[in-house]
Amino acid sequence: AQKVTQAQTEISVVEKEDVTLDCVYETRDTTYYLFWYKQPPSGELVFLIRRNSFDEQNEISGRYSWNFQKSTSSFNFTITASQVVDSAVYFCALSELYSGNNRKLIWGLGTSLAVNP
């Protein structure tokens, strides 16, 4: 069955520290998609990145970077030089190709990141 595990419930760092949020997934399919979303205190989920199962290249976008490793079924997210505005709950999610009419995202429980000044 498909499943997303975010083992870190809460992380607290001091501004300018680097922080890595872990995501481990389970799926039976060979074709699938992984996502990261940010949910700031305002509540609105913000899309950050999508990655398909055939693209294992790491991605960097400004201070954000993602490390996708199929061998360990992980899709980890690193924030470099964290800032207070990065404080939010971060969700990892999974979608499978061969799911019929099912287009739903399977979500982890989220990691609450607090960046302190």
Partner 1 sequence: GAGVSQSPRYKVAKRGQDVALRCDPISGHVSLFWYQQALGQGPEFLTYFQNEAQLDKSGLPSDRFFAERPEGSVSTLKIQRTQQEDSAVYLCASSLVGQVGYEQYFGPGTRLTVT
Given the rule CB under 8 A, which residues bind partner 1? 33, 35, 37, 42-47, 50, 52, 91, 93, 95-97, 99, 101-105, 107-110
CB of 109 to partner 1, least distance (A): 5
CB of 37 to partner 1, least distance (A): 8
Q: How far is CA 13 from the centre of its chain?
A: 18
CB of 7 to partner 1, least distance (A): 14
CB of 5 to partner 1, least distance (A): 11
Cα–Cα distance measured from residue 2 to residue 46, given in angstroms and rounded to the nearest whole number: 23
Cα–Cα distance measured from residue 54 to residue 115, given in angstroms and rounded to the nearest whole number: 33
Cα–Cα distance measured from residue 98 to residue 30, given in angstroms and rounded to the nearest whole number: 9
Nearer to partner 1 (CB atom), residue 43 or residue 117: 43
Nearer to partner 1 (CB atom), residue 71 or residue 103: 103
Nearer to partner 1 (CB atom), residue 76 or residue 111: 111
Q: Write out the DSSP string of 74-101.
A: EEEEEESS--GGG-EEEEEEEEESS-TT
